[in-house]
């Protein structure tokens, strides 16, 4: 299947150039010329990756990123490469803090941008493994010691987020935002409930510990 890439960029000349290059590389490329249009497409368009300019009309790239990351997966965790102005170090820092996966500085060499895109798409589709548990983000399957485990969408997204952040403690609030989405109005104990489901499906049958509780904070997956 071809990867769909969204270019959110108000400079038509750059957007058009990148679109042509991406199409040439075999990607499906779509454009958005301002922050609001970009966010709308990013949330509903099923993109594999987003190229996001910082300076945009209506809402800027940082705000687009912030709002995008408040949506549940798969839209909310779409890989984002920020296009930042030269020497705008603060943009890079804010961008990476705000959940950008990478950034390139304008003016950029198209080969460099294509290399960053390939690297992120590879990372996105490569299997995550930990303690005999293997999670395939592309096929949305999980297996433990070679046996497939049937997970609901929410259980899968929660496990995926934990495995992507192996050895990094995830606060309950972070998990709620990244897995349930910001408009979720329930309690943080939903996280505890779903952790119990995952343990019952994965840890108990295998007799091992994958997800560790960090008292008063949250959860972490450790090898």
Chain contacts with Ca ion (rule: CB under 5 A):
10, 53, 55
Residue among 53 and 91 whose Cβ is closer to Ca ion: 53
d(CA 2, CA 9): 22
Q: Give the shortest CB-53-to-Ca ion separation in angstroms.
A: 4
Residue among 65 and 211 whose Cβ is closer to Ca ion: 65
Q: Give the shortest CB-58-to-Ca ion separation in angstroms.
A: 12
Residue among 107 and 207 whose Cβ is closer to Ca ion: 107
Residue among 53 and 102 whose Cβ is closer to Ca ion: 53
Residue 74 phi, psi (nearest 5): -85, -20
Q: Give the shortest CB-203-to-Ca ion separation in angstroms.
A: 48
Beta bridge partners of 144: 133, 147
Per-residue DSSP letter, 72: P
Are residues 219 and 194 in contact, defined by beta-carbon separation less than 8 angstroms?
no
Q: Give the shortest CB-104-to-Ca ion separation in angstroms.
A: 14
Tokens of 213: 């509780």
Are residues 65 and 77 in contact, defined by beta-carbon separation less than 8 angstroms?
no
Single out the residue of 106, 102, 112, 91 nearest to residue 21, CA to CA: 112
Residue among 68 and 175 whose Cβ is closer to Ca ion: 68
Beta bridge partners of 213: 219
Q: Give the shortest CB-191-to-Ca ion separation in angstroms.
A: 38
Q: Which residue minimizes CB distance to Ca ion?
A: 55
């Amino acid at each position: 299947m071809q990867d769909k890439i969204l270019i959110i960029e108000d400079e038509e000349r750059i957007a058009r150039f990148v679109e042509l290059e991406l199409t040439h590389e075999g990607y499906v490329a779509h454009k958005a010329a301002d922050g609001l249009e970009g966010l709308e497409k990013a949330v509903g368009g099923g993109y594999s990756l987003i190229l996001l300019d910082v300076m945009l009309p209506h809402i800027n790239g940082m705000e687009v990123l912030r709002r995008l990351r408040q949506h549940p997966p798969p839209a909310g965790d779409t890989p984002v490469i920020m296009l930042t102005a030269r020497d705008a170090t603060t943009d890079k820092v804010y961008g990476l803090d705000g959940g950008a996966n990478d950034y390139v500085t304008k003016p950029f060499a198209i080969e460099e941008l294509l290399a960053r895109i390939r690297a992120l798409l590879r990372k996105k589709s490569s299997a995550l493994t930990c303690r005999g548990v293997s999670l395939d983000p592309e096929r949305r399957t999980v297996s433990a010691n070679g046996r497939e485990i049937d997970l609901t969408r929410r259980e899968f997204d929660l496990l995926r987020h934990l495995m992507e952040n192996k050895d990094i403690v995830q606060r309950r609030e972070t998990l709620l935002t990244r897995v349930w989405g910001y408009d979720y109005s329930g309690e943080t104990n939903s996280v505890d409930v779903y952790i119990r489901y995952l343990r019952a499906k994965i840890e108990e049958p295998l007799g091992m510990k994958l997800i560790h509780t960090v008292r008063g904070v949250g959860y972490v997956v450790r090898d």
